[in-house]
Each structure stands twice: as C-alpha cells, then as structure tokens.
Structure 1
Amino acid sequence: MKIKYQIVCLCFLFAVSWASTVHAKLHIVAATSDLGDLAKEIGKDKVEVTTIAKPTEDPHFVDAKPGFIMKLNKADILIEGGLQLEMAWLPSLVLSARNQKILPGNSGYVVASSPGIQILEVPSAVTRAAGDLHPYGNPHFMLDPLNGKIVASHICDQLCQIDETNCNDYRDNLKNFIQRLDQKLPEWQKMMEPFRGTKIVAYHKTFPYFAKRFNLNIVGELEPKPGIPPSPSHLNTLIPMMKNEGVKLILIEQFRERKIPEFVSERTGAKVVILPIMVGGQKEVQDYIALFDYTINQIVTALKTKS
C-alpha cells in the first residue's frame, strides 16, 4: 500500500511539473500595439503579450497607469520602439517595476530601432529645442512594412536567446510572417504606383517612412516642429504653399483634433484622410499586415476621389 501511495504521489508530481512546463509562457510587455502584434506573430501560443499604449492615443504621450508596473515587474521581455518615442512615460514605469531582466543591456530588453533600421531625419545635433519630439531622428519607422520584418527578426532572436527550447518554432513563425508580408508588398506597391510623387501634407512627422516606401512626397506638416501645435503664422505660410504645390491630401492620425486640418482643407482643397498608425487603431486593423491594407485603401480611395 505504501509503495502504491508513493507511486501515485510521484506520478502526481510529475504531472504537475509537466503541466507547469507545458503551459508556462514568456511574459512580454510591448510599448505599442504594433510591436505587441509582432511579438504575438513570432511567439504565438508560447507568449503572453501586454501592450501599454492604446492604439488610439499618441504614442508620444501615453496615460501610463500604475497597473502597468505589475505587468513590467513580471515581464520576461520588454519591447520598446526607441529613439525616445516613449521617453515621456516608459522609463518611470520600468524603474518602478524593479525588474532587472528588462533594464537596458539585459536579456529581456529589446529596442525595435536596433541596427538594421535606417533612421530618417536624424538631426546633426541632438536637441529638444522648442519641444521637438524627435531629437534622435524619426521614431515612426514601423510604418514601413520592411522595417516590420527587421523588428520581427529582432524579436525572434531575443525569444530564442531566452527560450532556446522553442527556438525552432519561433523561427518557423518568423518565416511564415515574412512570407505573408512579402506576398502583400507587391500588391500594395501596385495600388500606390499610379499616385507616385503625389504631394501631401501631414499633421505630424508620422508618415515619412510610409511615404518613402510608397513614393509619396510630403511637402510639409501642420505642426511647425514635431509636438509643437500649429500656429497662425505657420499656417499662413503653409496654406499658400499647399495651393502652389497642388497638395492633394492632409494625413492625420485618428487621435488628432480635426478643427485645424478641416480649416486648412477648406482653404486649399486638400482632402483630410484620418489614419490609424498602430494595430487596433480601427476595428478593421487587427494585425500588422491589416494596418497597411487599411491605410493604403484609405489613401488610394481618397486620391481616386480627388482625380
């Protein structure tokens, strides 16, 4: 009887241990939903992903709730965009979390703007003069789908470093994601090709990477500098320029106010197009590839209307 009891106990302990191993997931915290979606694409059922910034809010200015400190405390990996995109809200959360694994330089810290990303608009001198939000270059690189491939590879490498057992699965997931993205890119480029060189204005310097990839020509922004609200003097210069250049569209993110873009639209004839910039920003945008499907369809539809 005693032997049977011991055998039952051993079997129970083995089952508990096995179940714990099978169901243990890596906890990933991503600063934004686009980074979080790539983590889900690569990690699949091996990871549990939490994102901090809502997809409908300005990633420069996020309501960093104290509840995220607990998530960061338990995180195995933190993924941030870098280039000081999250400077106003993420560092204080990370310090409060007291989690060595996700501090810069440690195995659980991933910066998406790592080597491989060609950063645009890098200033000759680092400055936040007059409130400029892009002191190290433009941080909105995820709006180029090819940069999404690079970031996905970074995430895969980090997952393999921390969880070697499942590395082959992560590599397979990465390969599948890249194949799907590569299949979509020619389709997107074909849709945008008739509008090559089209002159547009944006609210904020959010779209340079997108414009470069799909051959749009951004000739100005409603903001005089990134993060500086549009001023009467700036608009008085911008509006005549837009008329002279024949600007077709004004691109704004869905979290921007509408009054000033509509004011400029009325005086220039340029059409306002409201776009999500992260996964989940619209109900149709449930993953990274859908973000480009939606954005390109919105832009193409608007330009066809203007033609």
Structure 2
Amino acid sequence: MLTKALAALSLAITCQAQAITIFACEPEWAALTKVLLPEAGVRTATTHLQDPHHIEARPSLIAQLRGADFAVCTGAELEAGWLPMLQERAGNPKVQNGQPTMFYAAQHVELVDPFKGAITPFSGDVHAHGNPHLHTDPRRFMQVAKALANRLGSVFPDKKPLLDQNLGKFDADMSSKLLAWEKQAAALKGRAVITQHATFGYLWLWLGLRPIADLEPKPGVPPTAAHLEKIMALSQSQQPVGIVIAQHHDPKPGRWLASSMGMPSKMLILPATVVDERPDSIIRWFDQVIAQLSALAK
C-alpha cells in the first residue's frame, strides 16, 4: 500500500513538473490561453483595473517570467515601459524577442492609427506600429486565437490535437455571437462618442461609432479643465451618444463633462478587458460591453 502511494505521489510530482507554464502580459491573453490549453499554468502580469502601459517590474513578475515556458503579450509597444526590463532581469532565454516561445498578438493582425512623426518623451503613450488595444475587436481576437494556437502547437506538438479542438470550439462560439452582437449594437452605427485614450479604438471601428473627442489632451496625459471646455464646445453640435472610459481611468473628468453637457446618465465606465480568466470570460466580456453600449442609444 505504501509503495503504491509513493508511486502515485511520484507520478503526480512528475506530471506537475512537466506542466506547461505560460506568462501572459494582459488578462485577455491569459483567458485565451486557458481556452486553448486549459491544463497550462497561466500567470498574468496585469488586471482589468490596471493601465497596461504603466506596470511596475516587480520581483514577483520577474520570478514568474523566469519560470515560464512560453509568454504571450500584446506587443506594438504596449508593454515597452516594463516588459523589456522583465525579460532582462528574468534571464530566461525562452521569453526573449525572436524566440518561438515569445508570442506577440499585434504581429498577427492589421493595426490601425500608427503614430506618424518622431516619438519623444513628450509625445505621450503613442505607438509607432499602431493602436495596440486590438482585443476589443472580436474579429481580430479570433485571428490572434488562430495564430496563438498554431504557435503553441508548433512549440508543444503533443498538444496540437487538443489545441485544434479547442480553437475550433472557440471560433464557432465567437462566430455564432458575432452577428448577434452587431445586430444588438446596430443603433450605435454612425453615432458620435467621446472617449478617453484609444483603449476602445478597435471596438468603435467594428461597431461604426465615431470618436469625436478624447478626454486626454495627449495620449496618456490626464484631462485638463481647459481641454474639457474645448470638448464641450466641440460636442454641442455633434450630439454624442455618450462618454465612454475604461475602469482604470479616473472617472471624475468624464463625470464632470457629462454633467456639464446635461447628460449625466450617458457616462459609461467599462472594463477594458476581461475581469477574470475563466474559459467563458472573453464572450462574457463582449456580452457586457455590447449590452452597456447599446443601452446608451436608448
């Protein structure tokens, strides 16, 4: 009996030692990884309440990246302020740029709004390759899912059948929801919206909303009273459907503007990404975002 127990324990330890560990820079990629490879141990660097541009390279994150077999991040300079430092200090050859085990989602979709001109320390949170917040478009999300599944399958070939199966289910689930989301949000098409940052830029593009003003005078620069006054004057003839910001932004400037414009109920605070990493979290997040946005048009 003791021998069998020790053998079982040894097997469990061996299996645990062989488990794939994946480091995800953002919650959406952690959730996607768990959809594709549920058995993997996934560590996430950020939450939906954090601005992914500005993350502290904490010792705990360095340790997590050091032990990772694979890493998935957004790229397009979104993590430029902290990921290179993590990579250097972790000293893990598997998660260095150019390695097949270092995956950047932005390399697998078409980005919009690349910054034109010289980038200086005074430019704000701008991106030469384009807007990195690509996960807010479900069509691009599905493209990343396919690319990530293919990459994981090439790195871990014994997992390819499982990856293909899970990718097929995810693609079918997202495809079945896509038309429903577009129908639900149809009343928003062509409507003006006031935003903060380009966090939901791909969402506006997908749904046909027109961002007419940004609460930030420069990307990543907090709103100022003078800038908000300009937005209020600009928006008087545009009849925006609402003001939409992410949960990691300070809500006070948007609330002041909404109240000053006589539309306090049209101030919407959305999670910029999934709020947990369960397998259904991606679809639940899109469900929530579409439902709350659609309510603005009523």
TM-score (norm 1): 0.88
Give 2:83's aligned amino acid: L
Cα displacement string for residues 65-110 of structure 1 (whole angstroms, at most 9, x for unaligned residues): 2111111111011111011111112211111111001100112100
Q: Cα distance, 1:35 vs. partner?
A: 0.7
Separation in 1 of the partners of 2:9 and 2:47? 39
Q: Does 1:160 align with 2:153?
A: yes
- 1:196-275 correspondence runs (5 A): 196-270=189-263, 271-275=266-270
Deviates most, 32-41 or 106-115? 106-115
Q: Cα distance, 1:20 vs. partner?
A: 2.6
Cα displacement string for residues 195-236 of structure 1 (whole angstroms, at most 9, x for unaligned residues): 211110101111110011111111110001211121233222
SS at match of 1:245: coil
Q: Which 5+ residue runs of structure 2 have no aligned equivalent?
A: none
| Counterpart for residue 108 of structure 1 | 101
| Counterpart for residue 118 of structure 1 | 110
Q: Does 1:68 align with 2:61?
A: yes
Q: Cα distance, 1:244 vs. partner?
A: 1.3
Judge conservation of contact 1:181–1:289 (CA < 8 Å) in 2: yes
Give 1:176's aligned amino acid: K
User: Alpha carbons of 1:128 and 1:83: their partners in 2 closer, same or farther (altered >3 Å)?
Assistant: farther
Q: Cα distance, 1:156 vs. partner?
A: 0.8
Of 78, 83, 86, which aligns to 2:71? 78
Q: Does 1:169 align with 2:162?
A: yes
Q: Cα distance, 1:285 vs. partner?
A: 11
Judge conservation of contact 1:277–1:291 (CA < 8 Å) in 2: no
Q: Cα distance, 1:237 vs. partner?
A: 1.7
Q: Does 1:278 align with 2:273?
A: yes
- 1:288-307 correspondence runs (5 A): 288-304=282-298
Q: Cα distance, 1:159 vs. partner?
A: 1.1
Identity %: 26
Separation in 2 of the partners of 1:284 and 1:104? 28
Give 1:289's aligned amino acid: I
Separation in 1 of the partners of 2:62 and 2:16? 27
Q: Does 1:149 align with 2:142?
A: yes
Q: Cα distance, 1:16 vs. partner?
A: 4.6
| Counterpart for residue 122 of structure 2 | 130
Q: Cα distance, 1:176 vs. partner?
A: 0.5
User: Alpha carbons of 1:77 and 1:135: their partners in 2 closer, same or farther (altered >3 Å)?
Assistant: same
Judge conservation of contact 1:284–1:294 (CA < 8 Å) in 2: no
Separation in 2 of the partners of 1:166 and 1:89? 31
Cα displacement string for residues 146-184 of structure 1 (whole angstroms, at most 9, x for unaligned residues): 111111112111211121112111011111101000011
Q: Cα distance, 1:64 vs. partner?
A: 3.2
User: Alpha carbons of 1:193 and 1:223: their partners in 2 closer, same or farther (altered >3 Å)?
Assistant: same
Give 1:277's aligned amino acid: A
| Counterpart for residue 38 of structure 1 | 32
User: Alpha carbons of 1:147 and 1:36: their partners in 2 closer, same or farther (altered >3 Å)?
Assistant: same
Give 1:83's aligned amino acid: A
Separation in 1 of the partners of 2:271 and 2:237? 29
Of 137, 140, 150, which aligns to 2:133? 140
User: Alpha carbons of 1:173 and 1:285: their partners in 2 closer, same or farther (altered >3 Å)?
Assistant: closer
User: Alpha carbons of 1:259 and 1:21: their partners in 2 closer, same or farther (altered >3 Å)?
Assistant: closer
Judge conservation of contact 2:246–2:272 (CA < 8 Å) in 1: yes
Separation in 1 of the partners of 2:296 and 2:221? 27
Give 1:139's aligned amino acid: P
User: Alpha carbons of 1:296 and 1:284: their partners in 2 closer, same or farther (altered >3 Å)?
Assistant: farther
Separation in 2 of the partners of 1:191 and 1:126? 41
RMSD: 2.4
The higher radius of gyration belongs to 1
Separation in 2 of the partners of 1:15 and 1:110? 34
